[in-house]
Amino acid sequence: MNFFVNKCSINKYTAMNRRTVGHCISFLDPCIGYTTKGRAEFLYDGKTIFAGTGDLIYIAPETRYYSLWLGEPEIEFYSFSYNLTNISELMQYRFQVIKDFPQKYLDNVYNAKDGDFFELMADFNLLLSKIYSSLTKTSYHPKYIKIKPAIEYIEENYSKNFSINFLADLCHYSEPRFFSLFKEINGVSPITYKHNIMIQHALDLLVKTDISIEEIGLTVGFTSPAYFRKVFLKHTGKTPKLIRRNSGLITTSF
């Protein structure tokens, strides 16, 4: 199968903020991030994934996630987005972090972006070759369809109060069987999955609005400010107050 680059965007971002929060959004094209200074935490698919200096982050098409960046004290990263012919052939490569990826391949692309187009494409294709040969394919879980109604319900109704038994009924399973199957497929329990989505939306409100922390907790579905702070601290390692006070928003394609 031959792949050709239709378009690409090549950027490098720096910030002095000690903590920087990204967007809870979904990208239509693949995107590459590479951390040259600082580190990042990603809330994705009910899990927290960490990336440090020298790590490459691959964001697959149609991926929705939230990122929290921490400077020490600087934050610096590359952000490359692109579109390929036959991109559907690469959909098995999902969100993942490649540890200790050689920075030289990204430097070469960035340094060539204002020069000869063919040299740029040569460097960019070499970078993509190195990335895709290092990525792990994620096979479609054959049992996913069995819990899809529950996942869709959680994602669309995360602020509502519902039971595990209700989710199990949606999928026509007993509660113990559903709980076991959900954790097998997603790697986390239904409650943890729901909490991660709630926290993602809470992070978005913390940095984009001046709504009080107490109101944010209630808006995303927590029953009390104390419980919101407890779950938030567990999932992010920080308090909502600290995130709001120290975060700066970087608007990027990554």
Residue 96 has pLDDT above 50, yes or no: yes
CATH 2.40.100.10 fits 144-246, yes or no: no
- Write out pLDDT tens, residues 118-162: 888 899 999 999 999 999 987 555 567 788 899 889 988 999 999
Mean pLDDT over the full length of the chain: 84
5-134 fold: Jelly Rolls (2.60.120)
Compute the C-alpha angle 52/58/63, nearest 5°.
Answer: 120
Average pLDDT over residues 28-32: 85
Q: Is the pTM of this model over 0.75?
A: no
Average pLDDT over residues 30-59: 88
Q: Where are the domains of the chain?
A: 5-134, 144-246
